[in-house]
Structure 1
Amino acid sequence: MMLTTDMKVFAWGQNGHRAVAEIANNHLNKKAKKALQEILGDSAYLPMVSTWMDDIKSDKKYAFMSPWHYFNIDEGEKFEDVERNPKGDIIKAIDDMVAILENENSTKTQKARAIKVLTHLVGDLHQPFHVGHKSDLGGNRVKVTWFGKPSNIHRVWDSEMITSKELSFTEIARFADHATPEQVEELQKATTIDMMNESHALCTKFYAEVGDGKLGYRYMYDHYKTVEERIMKGGIRLAGILNKVLG
């Protein structure tokens, strides 16, 4: 099975991505912060670069990055059974960015782009529908209504639950970033595949819960805590990766 290359996905929206990056910023060690300053200069604040991969989607020279935002696993499939896209996917892209940052021969320009991509994709990987079904473009074809207005289940999880809260990204991060030091240590043990498996398990659950597709207050009540949890985990794990490769 090949991954689709035409999915128009913007995981977590701008505020969600910035919240992931803000939480990561809170958990960086001193060496990683210093390295970020040296590499990114005036942009050495992760929320500033967290939406770069969405910002450049209209630029054709970056079209090769389009498949990097997701990994499709259809119902009943396992990761090991999926035919990998030769143009890349979110798992390979994250691992490739880590390799660039670990390589002492990488240029500052290469490292700067790797940080931008990594910051975005770790966020993407924690949005459950970025590990959704190929057949419905990760939930983009699963039509629902959100407070009576047409939408799809992917968009609800990308941005509409977050937007409905009317919070800034710093408020989202402050409310979500409540892990204990022991939890942080445990979360940062996760591999890229572990993160993917978590999202896929949640995605499978949420597909089954779409019901009649009329989503609103009750859906928010039942699921917004999961949105916060995924943003928190994404931020803490991003910090763990950056602390390891830059610290």
Structure 2
Amino acid sequence: MKHFILSIISITLLFGGTFLPQKVMAWGQTGHRVVAEVAENHLNKKAKKALQEILGDSAYLPIVSTWMDDIKSDKKYSFMSPWHYINLDEGETFKDIQRSSKGDILKAIDDMIKILEDENSSKKQKALAVKVLTHLIGDLHQPFHVGHKSDLGGNKVKVTWFGKPSNIHRVWDSDMIGSKGLSYTELAKFVDTASVEEVVKIQSASTVDMMNESHQLCTRFYKEVGDGKLGYRYIYDNYHVVEDRIMKAGIRLAGILNKALG
């Protein structure tokens, strides 16, 4: 399949500026593809048609869901690095924080939605917006993407995972999901079980609501690191949260795309 990538000229014109990169991941490839697969299941006909026109041969959200991680080694995209997260320290609320001048996940999501809703946006701009939005809605539902600035969202909180070095951010990104050995399509089938009524309720959340959910969870999981020796018990106690977050991310992504492209 053909993969559409915007030229750096178009990106610079659209967003402007360059920023220093940071290494940030969320959900890993499998998790992001699960979010996108769930979203595919909840797209309406108008959104599906619009995505086909925008993305062409790549009009399948799991294909584009990892694009923002795929391009991290390319310096011309380093200005996107701060878009993957927003930091709230313990006890802080959204009203307390000073937003980064480099942008953050909430601003990036809002910007992408505006591009999709604007009938004057070009196909290139909309294609980039879909890629970014598909990824960032997933990121926003990973609890440690709303973690503490001091430890880089849990990246500095060292733990062992079945005796091997890891950190609490990575545990939530990919270690727990990887432990199940499921493909993204298999996992999507397991988690995409919400009723029509539940879907409506899930999609009623604002992006600030989504952020607050993640922050509340992350505050809890910071406290539950304990001695840092994580394994089977940690999976048993917390895997249902992983399933819930990726399910909600997918359903909400579909709701956003249905509204913006409908």
TM-score, length-scaled by structure 1: 0.97
Distance in 2 (alpha carbons) for counterparts of 1:63 and 1:243: 29
Give 3-state SS (helix, strand or coil) of 1:57's partner: coil
Partner of 1:73: 88
Partner of 2:102: 87
Partner of 2:116: 101
Give 3-state SS (helix, strand or coil) of 1:74's partner: coil
Letter of the structure 2 residue corresponding to residue 191 of structure 1:
S
Whether 1:143 aligns to 2:158 is yes
The one of 19, 23, 28 aligned to 1:13: 28
Gaps of 5+ in 2: 1-18
Q: Shift of residue 9 of structure 1?
A: 1.7
The one of 231, 252, 259 aligned to 1:216: 231
Q: Shift of residue 7 of structure 1?
A: 3.7
Superposed CA offset, 1:103-154 (max 9, x none):
1100000000000000000000000000000010000000000000000000
Give 3-state SS (helix, strand or coil) of 1:135's partner: coil
Letter of the structure 2 residue corresponding to residue 228 of structure 1:
E
Whether 1:167 aligns to 2:179 is no
Distance in 2 (alpha carbons) for counterparts of 1:64 and 1:209: 33
Comparing 79-88 with 18-27, which one deviates more in the overlay?
79-88
- Structure 1 residues 30, 110: CA separation in 2 closer, same or farther (over 3 Å shift)? same
Does the 8 A contact of 1:7 with 1:137 survive in 2? no
Partner of 2:142: 127
Letter of the structure 2 residue corresponding to residue 134 of structure 1:
K
Q: Shift of residue 6 of structure 1?
A: 5.0
Distance in 1 (alpha carbons) for counterparts of 2:183 and 2:207: 28
Distance in 1 (alpha carbons) for counterparts of 2:161 and 2:224: 14
TM-score, length-scaled by structure 2: 0.92
Partner of 2:53: 38
Give 3-state SS (helix, strand or coil) of 2:226's partner: coil
- Structure 1 residues 5, 195: CA separation in 2 closer, same or farther (over 3 Å shift)? farther
Q: Shift of residue 203 of structure 1?
A: 0.3
Whether 1:29 aligns to 2:44 is yes
Partner of 1:193: 208
Distance in 1 (alpha carbons) for counterparts of 2:192 and 2:98: 36
Distance in 2 (alpha carbons) for counterparts of 1:229 and 1:146: 22
Does the 8 A contact of 1:11 with 1:124 survive in 2? yes
Whether 1:227 aligns to 2:208 is no
Give 3-state SS (helix, strand or coil) of 1:101's partner: helix
Distance in 2 (alpha carbons) for counterparts of 1:184 and 1:21: 16
Distance in 2 (alpha carbons) for counterparts of 1:57 and 1:179: 34
Does the 8 A contact of 2:20 with 2:78 survive in 1? no
Task: Give aligned-pair identity as a percent.
Answer: 77
Letter of the structure 2 residue corresponding to residue 172 of structure 1:
L
Gaps of 5+ in 1: none
Does the 8 A contact of 2:20 with 2:79 survive in 1? no
